[in-house]
Chains A and B, each alone.
Chain A
Amino acid sequence: AQKVTQAQTEISVVEKEDVTLDCVYETRDTTYYLFWYKQPPSGELVFLIRRNSFDEQNEISGRYSWNFQKSTSSFNFTITASQVVDSAVYFCALSEAMAAGNKLTFGGGTRVLVKP
């Protein structure tokens, strides 16, 4: 069965520091997508980035970057030069091509607190 683990429950940093969030996943499917979502204090989940299982090229988008390593089943997410507005809970999620309903399986989330 699919599983997503975010070992870090909470990270606290000072503004302008970099923050790296860890995500480890388990799946039997060879075709899948990985996602990162942000949940600010207001509660709604905001989609940030996605990556498919066939593309291990790491990318940067603005202050966000991600490191996908299939060999270790990890999909880590980095916020560069953090800002107070980055304070939120971040969720990693997995979507498998063979799963019914195209549902997302979420990790437990990592709370990021950016102090000014």
Chain B
Amino acid sequence: SQTIHQWPATLVQPVGSPLSLECTVEGTSNPNLYWYRQAAGRGLQLLFYSVGIGQISSEVPQNLSASRPQDRQFILSSKKLLLSDSGFYLCAWGLGVYNSPLHFGNGTRLTVT
């Protein structure tokens, strides 16, 4: 069966520091991968998605970037965090067809101080 791992679970970082969140998927090949962000009390906003190694699509211009160095690895990064980057970050994978649900990791709660 497929599993998705996301770490760390919580993170407190000062403004201006770098960020690296990692997500890996097991049990499937060539998945679509996604990064969503959920601000406190708000809905989910798609940040990036990837349909293959090295292929990154950005949905919202911002202070963040994403990379997919391996088929089942998806990384969310920032060179300098802003206060507004605080939130709950969720990684997800899908089969790449519109009728397939996305499957989410447990999320990373990021607090920028």
Interface residues of A (CB under 8 A from B): 31-33, 35, 42-47, 50, 52, 91, 95-97, 99-109
Q: A31-B98, A47-B101 are in contact. Are A108 and B107 (CB under 8 A)?
A: no
Given the complex, which residues of A lie within 8 Å of B94, measured CB to CB? 102
- A101 and B46 alpha carbons, distance in the complex (Å): 11
Main secondary structure of the interface of A (DSSP, over half): mixed
Given the complex, which residues of A lie within 8 Å of B100, measured CB to CB? 102
Q: A43-B88, A44-B107 are in contact. Are A101 and B43 (CB under 8 A)?
A: no
Residue of B36, B59, B101 with most partner-chain A CB within 10 A: B101
A102 touches B43 (CB 8 A): no
Given the complex, which residues of A lie within 8 Å of B36, measured CB to CB? 106
- A95 and B100 alpha carbons, distance in the complex (Å): 9
